[in-house]
Structure 1
Amino acid sequence: MSLLRQAAVAARAVSRSSAFSTSAVARKDIVQDLYIKELKGYKAPPTAKDAHVGAVKAYSLPPAPKVPTLPSDLAAELSAYDAAEPTKADAPKVAATGAEHVGEGAEGFLEVLEADLPKHDAHH
């Protein structure tokens, strides 16, 4: 038992002494020091005063909009507009879809839907 007691006393003495340190040793980072030194010593090259020429367009104000003018006889123009009858020539033309419509409107559409499908000679 005396051997165990001596080992415990020696372990306590070593832990109290400064032979073993629990704190990490501060080491210098050479790469970081060089990097910071180069950053501090960097001087940006001076830019020329006309460096922006060719990269930036000259700004010019757009022309001022003109004030719209009212017609002199507004009531006569409104009554002429109301009296005008719209014609089919003024209506936009619908492009042909390739489907043959039997009639116009809902009835024509329903007739197309109810029509028999064309029969194809398919050989299976």
Structure 2
Amino acid sequence: MLSQISRASRAVAARAARANAVQVRGFIAPTVSRRADFVQELYLKELKAYKVPAVKETDSEGQVQVFSMPKTPASPEEANLADSLKTYESMAVEIEGQDASAQSATGVAQLPDWLEAEEEEEPHH
């Protein structure tokens, strides 16, 4: 019985609390440290204190190779071209499937005439 009374009193108290409660929308601001981040302060301080070193003309020595113009190519001599053309024209023609010794013996090789139409053999009577 005591437990029933306590339950009933809790229910009544809850109803009364709900009826008297005024709902107010509240704004809760996140707690932010007033002091800025220590690492960020240190980083910005070092950035502001940095001095760019002066660039000298001699800084690149030993780091970069010295440019030198390449030699101009020698032009072929025209007399040698004429001699090599004459030797090319006087060379013997090599034909695949023929012996080089047979070709030199006959002089100029006889090439078969591939465009010539073959004659049909007449049947024997």
Normalised TM-score (structure 2): 0.46
Structure 1 or 2, whichever has the larger Rg, is 2
The structure where helix makes up a greater share of residues is: 2
Normalised TM-score (structure 1): 0.46
